[in-house]
Structure 1
C-alpha cells in the first residue's frame, strides 16, 4: 500500500492514536475480547484505552486509477479511562474482559472495563510478589511468601504449594494451563499444575530474569536475563540452551506460533531462532544496525514480528527475512509492544510516556 504523499506524514501519523502519560510506560495489556487496552506506567498509575477506532484506516483509504492513498485522521482519540490505582506493578487480562493488577504493596486487584476496582483476588494473605492468569484454564496463580497459591473456578477453591528456597519474581503459565514456570533471581523452575510433589525441571540462571514466555505447544520455555543472556528450556528433556552474547539485557522475549520461533530483544537486530528442528536454528530477521532492540512482539497469526528500538523506531518484519516496514522513525525508547489477539492492533509505549494503538488496514499485510 502506498502512503499519501504529504510532507512529514509517516505511517505512524496515519495509523496511530496517541495518548501522553506522565511517566514512562511499563506494560501494555489487551483484555480478552480486544475492546480495552490497559496501560501501566512506572509511576504506578494505570489507565485504560478504548480499542474501538472512530476513524479506522479503511474509512480513510481512497483508490483512484489504481493508486491507493490514505488521508490523515481528523479528530482526537477518545480520552483515556482513569483508575484509582497509583501503585500498579503488573497487568494481566482477566475474565469477562476485565483485568488483574498487582500493586507495589502486594495486593492483587480486579479492575473492570470502566476502571473501577471491584475487589481483591487471592488477597487474604499478602504481599503477593508475582502472579499469572490463564484464561483458557480459568486459573490464577500467585506467589505469597514463597508459597504458590492456585485458584481455579470458585474463589474459595484454592491450593497452596510450598516452594522451598525459591523466591519467584516472574510466573508464566503454558497456553493450556498445565505447566507453570517460576523464575527466581538465580533459578528457573517448571512444575505441573496438577502435581504437588515438586519441580518437573530446574535450571540455574546466571543473572536475574527479566522476561519469561512459553511456546504455544508448551515444549519450550524462554527466559531473558539481565546480563544479556537468553535461556531456552526443553520441557520434554530438561535440557537447556543458553545464548549469552547479547550486547544488551534481554528484557523482552516472545514466540511466533506461525513459525515456532523464539524472538528476543537485546541485540542490534531482531534476534530469533527456529525451534522446528532438533537444534535451534538462527533466523536473521529485519535489518542490522547500530541501535539495540528494546522490545519484540510476535504477531498472533502471521509470520511477523514487531520490534521497538532504543531510538524510538518501531518496525514490523517478516520472520526470517530482512524486509521491514517502518511504522515510526524516531521517539522515546520503546518500552512495551503488544499485539491484540486479532492482530489488527499493535499497542506501543515508550520511555517518554507516549502510548499508541496502531490500527492496521487489511491491505497492509498480504
Structure 2
C-alpha cells in the first residue's frame, strides 16, 4: 500500500478516523451496519437506527501530490447522525433493503424498512418473538430469521422451517441462494431448487460465500472452520483457532478467506483450498487481543480488521504492515463493512461508537494485485 503511512513504526500522526472520517458517540451498542450507496445505517441496541455519511460540505479532503497524498483539514464540523426510533426493544440485525434504505429486525418481533428520508414501514410483526437475523440479496430477495423459522420476502413469500435455531444468514453474490446456519448443519434455499442441507460437525456461527459461489464456509463454535465445494459437496476442514471464528470474509476474486478468532487475521488460500494447508496471517504481530471482525475490500487486496479492544486497522495477508483506522476504546468492534464501491468503511463498537471513513483509491497503490503480495509503503502530507 502506498500513499499513507503504515503501522506504528511509520510515524502515522493519528488514526484515519480522527483526521479523515466522521464519528459519533451513539450511547447504545452497535448491533450491525449496512450501506445504501454512500449512506450508512447503524442498528442500535436501544431500538434506534442511526444514519450518516462519511463526507460532508466543508469536511476534510484528499488530493494527490507527487509522491503521495495531501490532506486538507476540515473547515466545518461534521453534522450529527440522523437518528430514528424503529423498534420498541433492541435492534438485533440490519441489512440493506433491496428497494433502498435499510431492513432491521428487533426483539419486539418487528421487521421494519426505513428509507433514506427516515420513513419507517413495518413489514412484518411477530409478537412475543425476536427477529434475530436479517439479510438481503442482490437479486431482491430478503430473509428474516426468528428461532427455527426463516421468512423469505422481496420477490415472493416463503416460510422455511429449520431443524434448529438459525445462527447466521448469507446470500451468495448473485442473491439467488441463501445459506442458513443452524446446529449441525447449513440449509441451502433457492426459489428454483429443492432445499438442501449440508452437515457440519458442530454448531456454525458465521457464514461466507466465495464470489463465484463455488465455496461456502462456516465458522464453528468449536474453534474451527468447515467448508464445502458446492459442485460435489466436498468437505474442507480448517482448524487450530484459539477462539471462535465468528467473522468471515472472502477477498476480491475469492482467492483468500479472512477470518477472526485469533490475535491476528487468519487467511486461508482458496485457489484451490487444500486440507492441511498452512494459513497466512496479517494484523498486529504482537497482539494478544483477539480479532473479532474482518471485512475484505470488494476490489482491492486489503482487509479491515476490528479488535476486541475497539481498534480497527487495514492489513494485507502475509504482511506485518498495518494502517490504523481507529484507536482502541469504545468496547469491542461489533460491526465492520465496506461500501459496495470500496470507497468507504463503516465501523461500530459495543460501547456505541460509530465511524465512517472515506478511503478512495488514490490512497492506495499496490505493488501487486496478488492478495498475498507485500504492500509498498509511502507517506501523506498534512496541511
Could you say which TM-score interval applies, normalised by the shorter chain?
A: 0.7 to 0.9
SS at match of 2:99: helix
Matching of residue 267 in structure 1 with residue 262 in structure 2: yes
Deviations 1:224-251 (A, max 9, x none): 2334222222222223323332222222
Aligned-pair CA distance for 1:216: 1.1
Q: Give the RMSD, CA atoms, in angstroms.
A: 2.9
| Residues 191 and 205 of structure 1, relative CA distance in 2, 3 Å threshold | farther
Match of 2:200? Answer: 204
Match of 1:72? Answer: 73
Q: Aligned ranges for residues 120-135 of structure 1 at < 5 Å?
A: 120-121=123-124, 128-134=131-137
Q: Aligned ranges for residues 1-366 of structure 1 at < 5 Å?
A: 1=3, 9-31=14-36, 34-55=37-58, 57=60, 59=61, 61=63, 63=65, 68-86=69-87, 87-121=90-124, 128-134=131-137, 136-143=138-145, 146-153=148-155, 157-163=156-162, 165-196=163-194, 198-199=195-196, 201-207=197-203, 209-279=204-274, 281=277, 282-289=279-286, 290-332=288-330, 333-366=332-365
Segments of structure 2 that go 5 or more residues without pairing to the other structure are: 366-383
Higher relative contact order (CA 8 A, sep 6+): 2
Separation in 1, partners of 2:32, 2:73: 28
Separation in 2, partners of 1:19, 1:109: 23
Contact 1:259/1:303 (8 A) holds in 2: no
The count of aligned residue pairs is: 353
User: TM-score, length-normalised on structure 2?
Assistant: 0.82
SS at match of 2:258: strand
Separation in 2, partners of 1:107, 1:72: 42
Deviations 1:35-81 (A, max 9, x none): 31111223333211134432455x35585x86754243333222111
Aligned-pair CA distance for 1:262: 1.0
SS at match of 1:109: strand
Segments of structure 1 that go 5 or more residues without pairing to the other structure are: none
Contact 2:211/2:253 (8 A) holds in 1: no
Aligned-pair CA distance for 1:257: 2.3
Aligned-pair CA distance for 1:93: 0.5
